[in-house]
Structure formats: structure tokens, C-alpha cells
Amino acid sequence: MLTLLEASFLYVGPGAALTLVFDRAINLDGFVPSAITVQDPSGTGWAYVGTGVVDTPNAQTVVVEMGQTGSAEGTLDVLTATAATGIVAVDDGASWGGVTELGLPYP
């Protein structure tokens, strides 16, 4: 199982970025950024969806470009990612199962 170790969201105006750090090297060949969403009610007040890769600073980390989709829902900053993200481990191909309403920043 591929495990998420850290997640952080940063509004960098006019866009935003989500950094995901995993427990081992990842493969992004099948990456589907739109399977990732962020609700940011306490910061920008907006909801975001992944639109692409901004950077891969190391083998375990991806910085996802996030595009604004509308007003944020709820009162907590959260990340939701479906199992369809296409993020997999390099060593054994284990896929990331995603998360549902994971509080940001994480941990």
C-alpha cells in the first residue's frame, strides 16, 4: 500500500498548489489530477480541483496545480482524492487509495 505522509495546500495567487508527500517513490504516468479536490473555507473561501503537475521536487513528492471551481463547502480545510488518481509506487506498482475529507495541513 502506498501511504500519504504529508499534504499541504498553498494559495499562490492567482492559482494554488497542493503538495503530496508519500512514503516512497511514486510514478505519475497515469496521473489524473481531477481526481483530487480541496475545500479551503478558512483561507481563500474557494474549492479547487487538480489540473496538472507543477513540480516533482523529489521521487516521493508531487506538487499539483489546483484550479478554482467555486465556493468552498463546510468549515474545515480538507483534501479528498479518489482511488482513481493514478498515483502508484515505483517499486511494486501499489496504488494510492486516496483520502476522504482529510484535514489540511496533514499531519
pTM: 0.96
Which grid coordinates belong to 61? 513528492
Query: Architecture of domain 4-95 in CATH?
Result: Sandwich (2.60)
**Amino acid 26: pLDDT:** 98
pLDDT single digits (tens) 23-78: 999 999 999 999 999 999 999 999 999 999 999 999 999 999 999 999 999 999 99
**Residues 6 or more apart from 69 whose CB is under 8 A from it?**
37, 46, 47, 48, 49
Residue 45, φ and ψ in degrees, nearest 5: 85, 10
**Amino acid 14: pLDDT:** 81
Residue 83 has pLDDT above 90, yes or no: yes
Query: Domain extents for the chain?
Result: 4-95
Strands, E, within 34-98: which ranges?
A: 36-40, 46-58, 61-71, 78-81, 88-89
